[in-house]
C-alpha cells in the first residue's frame, strides 16, 4: 500500500476515526524518543501542586498556541 493510498483512505474516515489515527501516529512518533518519554514521566510524577494547571488554565494555554 502506498502513502497516497493511505491518504485517500484517511479522507474517507469519520472525524472520530481520523482523531484515533492522529493519536496513533503521535504515539508512533514519540514511542522511541527517550527525551520525550523522560519529560512525560517527569510531569506525571510531579507531586508539587504549584506546577499543576486547572482545566480552564490548561484550555487557556492551548488557545494561546
Determine the pLDDT at residue 65: 79
For the stretch 9-26, pLDDT in tens is 999 999 999 999 999 999
Question: Over the chain, what is the mean pLDDT?
Answer: 94
With a pLDDT cut of 90, the percent of the chain lying above it is: 91
User: Distance from CA of residue 12 to its chain's centroid?
Assistant: 22
Q: Report pLDDT digits (tens) over 17-59.
A: 999 999 999 999 999 999 999 999 999 999 999 999 999 999 9
| Residue in the block written with cell 476515526 | 17
Give pTM, 2 decimals. 0.59
- Asked if residues 13 and 21 have their Cβ atoms less than 8 Å apart, the reply is yes
Please tell me the distance from the alpha carbon of residue 10 to that of residue 21, in angstroms, as a whole number.
8
Amino acid at each position: 500500500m502506498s502513502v497516497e493510498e493511505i491518504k485517500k483512505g484517511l479522507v474517507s474516515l469519520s472525524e472520530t476515526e481520523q482523531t484515533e489515527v492522529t493519536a496513533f501516529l503521535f504515539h508512533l512518533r514519540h514511542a522511541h524518543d527517550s527525551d520525550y518519554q523522560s519529560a512525560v514521566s517527569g510531569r506525571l510524577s510531579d507531586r508539587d501542586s504549584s506546577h499543576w494547571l486547572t482545566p480552564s488554565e490548561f484550555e487557556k494555554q492551548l488557545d494561546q498556541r
